[in-house]
Amino acid sequence: MQQVVDQVAGQVVEQITDWFAGAARDLPWRAPDRTPWGVLVSEVMLQQTPVVRVEPVWREWTARWPSPADLAAAPTADVLRAWGRLGYPRRALRLADCARAIVERHEGVVPDDEDALRALPGVGEYTAAAVRAFAFGRRSVVVDTNVRRVQARAITGVALPAPSYTAAERLLAASLVPADDDGAARWAAASMELGALVCTARVPRCGACPVRAECAWRLAGFPPDAHADRRRTQSWEGTDRQVRGRVMAALRGADGPVPRALLADAGPQPQLDRCLAGLVEDGLAETDEAGRFLLPA
């Protein structure tokens, strides 16, 4: 039985990789002249942010700071302004910290070793594996939300993976990665692309899927999501994230310190006070002697 499962899995990997050869999006961080730094920047920017929003910011960012040393020397206020409306601006601070660590520990060169990558500020398991695969073409186990979804449907026959990454998923992901560097890097990109473009969460385009004949979920009759009641959903309207985003937009657009009174429209007073305190604590804003708010220097 296991031999049959392994054979199907191998077939799925091969077919998805073949599909990717003709379906891959033309993205700048995939270009032949990409740099490891450019790939690392893209991976940080793409966390919880769609490609269409990331691409223009990535182009501007890498033109302005083409190397870790360039970003390491940049003022924090400039970094936060350049991050713009990508959201989760702490990623910009972590990326700047990462650039400084690369300069200090690796002479300004992005390392290709996964442990060295994971030791950098803001670089976790996924980002380290992705940089190793996409920047250096080396074998690694790259698993994001899209890859988890493809594995869940095509191999295990469930609608969506569990809310938390499981040990069984980890073992499956490792078993699917081809043994050679080139094949592993192609599989990482291909499985991610299929999840992003075809095997989407809400309305998968099964008719366009290269493994529809082998897909365990389709063969099982498309069973519903077994974890639907465990998934948390949160509206954007009225959240602290929305209020923080409004404050950050005001600070980015200001020529100087902003009095608190001019931030009153960002949200109700208790919530605004909480969000302002949080932004200062996170290093995303600071106050001057008059109690006005501004981006860090």
Three-state DSSP state, 258: strand
Token pair 């698993």 in the structure block, residue: 143
Amino acid at 237: E
The β-bridge relationship of strands 293-294 and 286-287 is antiparallel
CA distance 148 to 153: 9
Cβ count near 243 (within 10 Å): 21
Tokens describing residue 172: 């499956």
CA distance 254 to 266: 15
Contact 176, 222 (CB under 8 A): no
Q: Who contacts 35 (Cβ-Cβ below 8 Å, separation ≥6)?
A: 66, 67, 110, 135
Active site residues: 43
E-strand spans in the chain?
A: 286-287, 293-294
CA distance 196 to 162: 18
Angle at alpha carbon of residue 57, lines to 280 and 127, rounded to 5°: 75
Token pair 């899995």 in the structure block, residue: 9
